[in-house]
Amino acid sequence: MPPEANDAAAPNPPQLWRGLEEYMDSPAFHEAMANEFPEDAAEWTDPVSRRNFLTVMGAGLALAGAAGCTPRPASMRKIVPYTRQPEQMVPGVPLFFASAAPLAGYATGVLVRSHEGRPVKVEGNPDHPSSLGGTSAIDQASVLDLYDPDRSKTPTRSGTPVSLDEAVHAVRAQLFDATGQPKQAVRLRVLSGAVTSPALADRVAAFLTQFPQAKWTQFEPCGQDNVREGTRRAFGRDAAVNYDFKQADVVLSLDADFLGDGPGHVRYSRDFAARRRVRDSIPAGADGEYVKPENMSRLYVAECMPSQTGSAADHRLPILSGQVEAFARAVAAKLGVAGAPAAGTLPDAAQKWIDPLVKDLQRVRGKSIVVAGDSQPPAVHALAHAINNHLGNLGTTVFVTAPVEARPDGKMLALADLVREMAANAVDVLLVLGGTNPAYTAPVDLDCAGAVKNVPFRFHLGSHQDETAGTCEWHINEAHYLETWGDGRGHDGTVAIQQPLIAPLYNGRSAAEVLAAVTLAGDTDGYDIVRAYWRKRFADEKRAGVFEQFWQETVRLGVVANSAAPRVEKPTLAGGWAEGASPAYPTLGADEYEINFRPDPTLFDGRFANNGWLQEVPKPVTRICWDNAAYVSAATAKKLDLDKDFRWTGGERGRTEVSVVTLTYQGRSIKLPVWLLPGHPDGAITVHLGHGRERAGAHVGNNPGQGPNAEGKQVRGSNAFALRTAATPAFGTGAKLAKTTDHYLLACVQANWVMTQVDPLNGTVIDRAPVRRGTNEQYKTNPWFAKITPTAAGETALISQNIPGQAGARNPESGTVRQRGTQYGPDHDHSNGNGNGHEGHGHHDDRLVPLTMYNPNDRLYPDGSRGPGRRWAMAIDLSACTGCSSCMVACQSENNSPVVGKHEVTRGRDMYWIRIDRYYEGTPNEPDATRTYFQPVPCQQCEKAPCEIVCPVAATAHSADGLNDMVYNRCVGTRYCSNNCPYKVRRFNFLSFQDWSTESLKLGRNPDVSVRSRGVMEKCTYCVQRIRYGEIVAEREHRPIRDGEVRTACQTACPSGAIVFGDLGDPASLVGKWKAEPSNYGLLAELNTMPRTTYLASLRNPNQELVDALKR
Amino acid sequence: MPQIFPKAVNPLTRFLVLLLPMGFGATGVGLAAFYRSSYATGKEEVVPQPVAFSHAHHVGQLGIHCLYCHTSVEDSHFANIPPTATCINCHQEMWHGADMLQPVRDSFQKDKPIVWNRVHNVPHYAYFNHSIHVAKGVGCQSCHGNIDNMNLTFQSSTLLMEWCINCHRNPQEQLRPQSEIFSMTWAPGRPVNGKAQVWVREDLPNWGKNPDGTDTAHASMIGQPRPTAQRELGLKLKELYDIRDGVTMTSCSMCHR
């Protein structure tokens, strides 16, 4: 915080604030509001001298003259047809193929769109239970990994390219003697990531049979170790657990980010949202997608690092990770769970929670869920299962199944064993089979990279020449999942078939193929391996029908029918489930902190560090991109004297210079920037893993153009793995934080695109209430509360009427139908006054100048009608949005949006067509009083678009179906439109952000969308290419477009189904129904922009007893 | 200060008063004319091709249907340039030794595509879709001209935006019944096979059938004479094929996205 403001709030702090600056109403924030772009956004501030610039420009002009200025278009371009055209392929018509996107072993079913054989866009597979049509941001971005120019392209030996045969023969020579017999003496170890793939597991099992002395180790740095061990303790057997959030009335999350992380979180988001979408006029229906306000579920979260789940919570308890176990014990004790260990001491705030929480859990026995987080120790998981058992949730909302992983074992311990063997020279051959990068991710105290050097023969299969490849002599480039056959299991065990869409670009191989090749197995092709496995299993399981039919249908669907892990019918707690509870949590010393290691929300364990989309997409909740930071609370920052050193360079606006701190833990230390995060508990520090990779890739992860990290290295962020030990993989105490004199520029997009406005008369910030919010109780008494615009409450009725989709909607005040075009409706009551009939009800517009200076019916058509066109519109339910950023990456993928890099982001030049605004409510100094809201903001497609009237060249104009069209080839780059846009959704290509030269990236672009160059404004188009395609298909068949036939990229990607899109002209359209809801409101609609995109208010379901208890 | 120009220049100046605007005007007209000229637009310019394929021979003389090669014109934005295999279908039997076809045989044997020079160059930012035009009654001939008379193919229209817009504003001037889309000889009122034109089932949307198989109201038109004037016929077809109004069809995002 700047010195002039310190941590004091503004005289009248806003109810909703995007960042600390806004909360403090600092001068820098005012400056940010006044400027459309940061003051230097339009400057050429790259390290390019003016002379250099002129040279570049000159060359550019010369080239343009050679290529572009000839008036003769003919014969410039070529057409290259097939020699033999594949069947079923219609050139120009995209095809969808079902596949499976793997992450840390678990697969999510996806449908991938292919244009002439090039996979371009990933969407969720509605038939796969882990997806149900939604995807995570990581799934969306996986297609970019395929086209990553830094992928390993050839097998190597000590970094020198060799042929594939040479590499395979080298491994074979280690495994077989001269006569072709397996060598039994060679001490063989196989290391891989977690494996759920049945076909790969079968191949590994065959390998282990052939070489009985071999050992197979799986290692996942951010895996399910605690979950697995906790479940084993609770039920006395290897098991997996999945949840049905649709059936849960009350959910208690013990540091579990089930909406943002871990297997199945996409599915859980959908199920959870189904109980949060409150509707007044839409019946709950067979699909159970909507609820009445009284049936809304309630979510309690006790967590350390503010997560997506915590942001969606009705009650959030910021608590140290180490105190969660004590909290769980207290809950268990109060509930009377038999055999629960004694509760320890709890902080005051947590103590107040216990009684109301327990009462609420007891109220809905059998319909609640207690879920523990991946980073919590097994004891907490066991406690959660015991509580679920006590409450009768097992079998109704919580399901115990057979294990999903091929071999459920402790990954961290297994790696420790392997490293010990390697260090003791007890390993002759090490085969690293992709999906894991232990040289970077292994706990630092194991010294994995050092131990590997003792192994005489080291082989690595991987997609990149990463840190582990650097320690291995032999390397084979791994095929991407879109290049090779395979399979994988979802969170509930359902198998998805991983179908390739393209032949391997660099002739890569999958793990199963490499294992088959080096062991001289019969089938060495991925397709044969997977098919042969399933043919055998089809026979073993005695499935009905013919295999070929089963196989074709399975590949088409992408899902193996009835392959979910079998549920344990009546799970019972094991006797000693409460044993092995963690020791009492040590009290923190005066200058000691709890350190939390969390997988990065977008880079995961660092495997996506060279994916530009995932680097640039702002991390959910923190909104920081391209870096990690030490997240601390306001009080901690004050204690460390960090607050006064925050240097704001002209407003937050994406560039914030913050202090660099030295973070020391168990004698090791790293330097990284520090970030003050509202909602973070005092006394703890959170760092995200996955940053600071030294061998990520030259284009993104180690691109020198992006500047060094806080330690001066050419990497993105700082490597927190350098602090993480095997004993404390998730959190530990005794970390120390010391301020240095350095400063570091962080890219935080949160304050880019500020919509706030200053009242010109008195200089105060106008409360536009961008996020209208309330409780379900409020909703029951007044469902129209969201319609009331704080700045123009008296005109609510008129504003509401001017919002598209509100024709025929009910009157906010009386609940009866009113007609469009009449200001107050037919039921307008003048009778309860005494003079002119206007006294009794003060909602009239008494202004001299009418709200709109246009004729309300002034449309495109001369007769004043809207015309026969369709009226495309969108509605976004803020109660369902979890801020996961999947829509942002989906939009980027669909619309060829460029990655601009950290330095451009810090200048306010990010190019996201849909952004997610994060608002806080409460005060930053009280973490437990902070509430978070997310609001996705695409172009609102205003019917009265302010951008259109200021364009001097008519490059942005209205289409007859209500789209605010942007015509790139007309745009001359004045940026007036962006200046005049109240929503700040327009994006300008200040530089040539697109990569026009990298060949592999060209393959991944969507051919239906123009690739924009420098000097052109762009913005959300409602995915007009999809609309036009849908229109053409429907009109060719001479039929109307079906509701839901045209889906935007953001809508398709959204895991929680928060976005609907459709034709308002279709009376049956879902979007029309959502907009007719009383909680529907238009963002900044009082400006009379008539936005086609509207929002449904964010509703929470707080427990009044807990609210009261916290006040005491 | 001495005069720079002698007095004799004065008439010249007076001329300039007249000539300058005329010069500007002439330049403008000239540039506009140049912009629309066949030199600038490539209209009627014969483009050399790796194989001297003649539409006049294959379409005009042999009568091969457009769809035999341009298979996806009804389903895709792209009408498709046939794969070499399509050429070989016939040319493995006839003219299989001709020198002219050497590139075709090479392509097929070596599995290397023939690289054609594109004749119709629409800018990258314009997204033209063949299938919807064909479905709404715009014949091949309307844009591509009398392709059955072309030896080497050339562009018969300017492909300028004004040319597109003209038709999007007044589609009735170019529409023809569905059954005549691929015809190169059709004209309104011109007898077909010696008989006056009548509506046929193929002309009707979805063949005049409801999804349940019953006839639509339009089916009564079958056998009735078609209007003989383009304007009358065009307006009838515009209604019959649900062609949207000019405001909708000239929206920017119809073609640019």
CB contact under 8 A, A1035 and B242: yes
Question: Residue A122's closest CA among A101, A93, A149, A92?
Answer: A101
The partner residue sitting opposite A83, judged by closest CB among B83, B132, B256, is B83
Q: Indicate whether A298 pLDDT > 90.
A: yes
Q: Indicate whether A79 pLDDT > 60.
A: yes
Q: Indicate whether B2 pLDDT > 80.
A: no
Residue A316's pLDDT band (cuts 50, 70, 90): very high
Quote the pLDDT of residue A286.
Answer: 54
Q: Are B173 and B234 in contact (CB under 8 A)?
A: yes
Q: Indicate whether A939 pLDDT > 80.
A: yes
Question: Which residues partner with A746 through β-bridges?
Answer: A656
Least confident of A283-287, A733-737, A1023-1027, B59-63: A283-287
CA distance B199 to B221: 6
Which residue type, as a one-letter code, is found at position A813? E
CB atoms within 10 A of CB B46: 14
φ, ψ dihedrals at A370, nearest 5°? -115, 125
Flag whether residue B132 sits within 8 Å of chain A, measured between CB atoms. Answer: yes
Which residue type, as a one-letter code, is found at position A465? Q
The partner residue sitting opposite B115, judged by closest CB among A80, A85, A967, is A80
pLDDT tens-digit map of B78-107: 999 999 999 999 999 999 889 999 999 999
- Averaged pLDDT, A247-254: 95
Handedness of CA A705, A706, A711, A714 (dihedral sign): negative
Report chain A residues whose CB lies below 8 A from the CB of B252: 957, 959, 965, 967
Residue A870's pLDDT band (cuts 50, 70, 90): confident
Chain B: closest CA distance from residue A976 (Å): 19
Q: Which residues contact A639 (CB under 8 A, 6 or more apart)?
A: none
CB contact under 8 A, A965 and B256: yes
CA distance B219 to A1092: 40
CA distance A558 to A131: 12
Question: Residue B142's closest CA among B151, B133, B150?
Answer: B133
Query: How deeply is A585 buried, as exposed, middle or buried, from its count of CB atoms within 10 A (0-12, 13-18, 19+)?
Result: middle
pLDDT tens-digit map of A630-658: 999 888 888 888 764 444 443 334 467 78
Q: Look-up: residue for tokens 């009083």?
A: A929
For residue A317, how far is the Cα from the chain centroid?
23
Quote the pLDDT of residue A824.
Answer: 41
Quote the pLDDT of residue A240.
Answer: 93
Q: Are A1111 and A324 in contact (CB under 8 A)?
A: no
Quote the pLDDT of residue A64.
Answer: 43
Cα A591-A592-A595 angle, rounded to 5 deg = 145
CA distance B112 to B110: 5
CA distance A863 to A732: 71
Residue of chain A whose alpha carbon sits nearest to that of B241: A1038
- Averaged pLDDT, A330-349: 87
Cα first-last separation, chain A: 31
Quote the pLDDT of residue A202.
Answer: 93
Q: Indicate whether A841 pLDDT > 80.
A: no
Question: Residue A1061's closest CA among A876, A822, A898, A838?
Answer: A876
- Averaged pLDDT, A811-828: 38
pLDDT tens-digit map of A579-628: 877 777 777 888 899 999 999 999 999 999 999 999 999 999 999 999 99
Residue of chain B whose alpha carbon sits nearest to that of A895: B257
Q: Which secondary-structure segment (H or E) carries A282?
A: none
Question: Residue A723's closest CA among A711, A714, A731, A715?
Answer: A731
Q: What mean pLDDT value characterizes chain B?
A: 91
Pairing of strands A495-498, A486-489: antiparallel
Quote the pLDDT of residue A73.
Answer: 53
Q: How many interface pairs between A and B have CB atoms less than 8 angstroms apart?
A: 157
Cα first-last separation, chain B: 62
Residue of chain B whose alpha carbon sits nearest to that of A1036: B135
Report chain B residues whose CB lies below 8 A from the CB of A869: 244, 247-248
Flag whether residue B231 sits within 8 Å of chain A, measured between CB atoms. Answer: no
Quote the pLDDT of residue A874.
Answer: 95
Report chain B residues whose CB lies below 8 A from the CB of A74: 42, 45, 47, 119, 121, 155
Quote the pLDDT of residue A798.
Answer: 76
Tokens of A165: 């045969």
pLDDT tens-digit map of A179-214: 888 888 899 999 999 999 999 999 999 999 999 999
Quote the pLDDT of residue A219.
Answer: 92
DSSP string spanning A522-540?
S--SHHHHHHHHHHHHHHH
CA distance A428 to A173: 13
The domain ranges of chain B are 55-174, 178-247
CA distance A506 to A497: 22
CA distance B98 to B91: 9
Quote the pLDDT of residue A287.
Answer: 66
Chosen from A1028, A1031, A1039, A1092 to mutate, greatest number of chain B CBs within 10 A = A1028
Flag whether residue B153 sits within 8 Å of chain A, measured between CB atoms. Answer: no
Residue A288 φ/ψ region, left for φ over 0, alpha for ψ in the -120 to 50 degree band, beta for the rest: left
Q: Which residues contact A1033 (CB under 8 A, 6 or more apart)?
A: A1045
Q: Are A175 and A518 in contact (CB under 8 A)?
A: yes
Tokens of A725: 């030990």
CB contact under 8 A, A1038 and B82: no
Distances (CA, A) of A721 to A432, A670, A727, B150: 20, 10, 13, 70
Chosen from B129, B138, B158, B252 to mutate, greatest number of chain A CBs within 10 A = B252
CB contact under 8 A, B253 and A959: yes
* Domains of chain A and CATH, by start: 16-41+587-751 (2.40.40.20), 95-146 (2.20.25), 156-223+427-557 (3.40.50.740), 240-401 (3.40.228.10), 775-812+857-877+1023-1112 (no CATH)
Question: Residue A1032's closest CA among B228, B156, B63, B255?
Answer: B255
Q: What mean pLDDT value characterizes chain A?
A: 85
Quote the pLDDT of residue A604.
Answer: 92
Report chain B residues whose CB lies below 8 A from the CB of A81: 80-84, 113-114, 116
Question: Which residues partner with A240 through β-bridges?
Answer: A401
Pairing of strands A668-676, A630-632: parallel
Residue of chain B whose alpha carbon sits nearest to that of A68: B123
Residue of chain B whose alpha carbon sits nearest to that of A1038: B205
Share of chain A above pLDDT 70, in %: 86
The partner residue sitting opposite B85, judged by closest CB among A85, A868, A959, is A85
Flag whether residue B124 sits within 8 Å of chain A, measured between CB atoms. Answer: yes
Question: Residue A252's closest CA among A362, A177, A406?
Answer: A362
Structure letter (DSSP) for residue B61: I
pLDDT tens-digit map of A355-398: 999 999 999 999 999 999 999 999 999 999 999 999 999 999 99
Chain A: closest CA distance from residue B164 (Å): 16
Report chain A residues whose CB lies below 8 A from the CB of B72: 90-93
Q: Indicate whether A819 pLDDT > 60.
A: no
The partner residue sitting opposite B247, judged by closest CB among A960, A968, A1027, is A960
Quote the pLDDT of residue A113.
Answer: 95
Residue A789's pLDDT band (cuts 50, 70, 90): confident
Instruction: Please indicate whether residue A72 or residue A699 has the higher confidence score (pLDDT).
Output: A699
CA distance A463 to A606: 13
CA distance A497 to A559: 6
CB atoms within 10 A of CB A1036: 18
Q: Indicate whether A928 pLDDT > 80.
A: no
Structure letter (DSSP) for residue B172: G
CA distance A632 to A639: 11
Q: Which residues contact A169 (CB under 8 A, 6 or more apart)?
A: none
SS3 readout for A62-116: HHHHHHCCCCCCCCCCEECCCCCCCCCCCCCCCEEEEEEEEECCEEEEEEEEEEC
CB atoms within 10 A of CB A844: 14
CB contact under 8 A, A83 and B245: no
Q: What is the pTM of this model?
A: 0.90
Residue of chain B whose alpha carbon sits nearest to that of A1026: B257
Which of A462-466, A517-521, A923-927 is the most confident on average?
A462-466
Q: Are A702 and A714 in contact (CB under 8 A)?
A: yes
CA distance A172 to A676: 54
The partner residue sitting opposite A77, judged by closest CB among B121, B125, B257, is B121
Query: How deeply is A980 buried, as exposed, middle or buried, from its count of CB atoms within 10 A (0-12, 13-18, 19+)?
Result: middle
Report chain A residues whose CB lies below 8 A from the CB of B238: none
Find the DSSP H helices in A525-611: 526-540, 547-557
The partner residue sitting opposite B252, judged by closest CB among A80, A81, A959, is A959
pLDDT tens-digit map of A87-143: 888 989 999 999 999 999 999 999 999 998 899 999 999 999 999 999 999 999 999
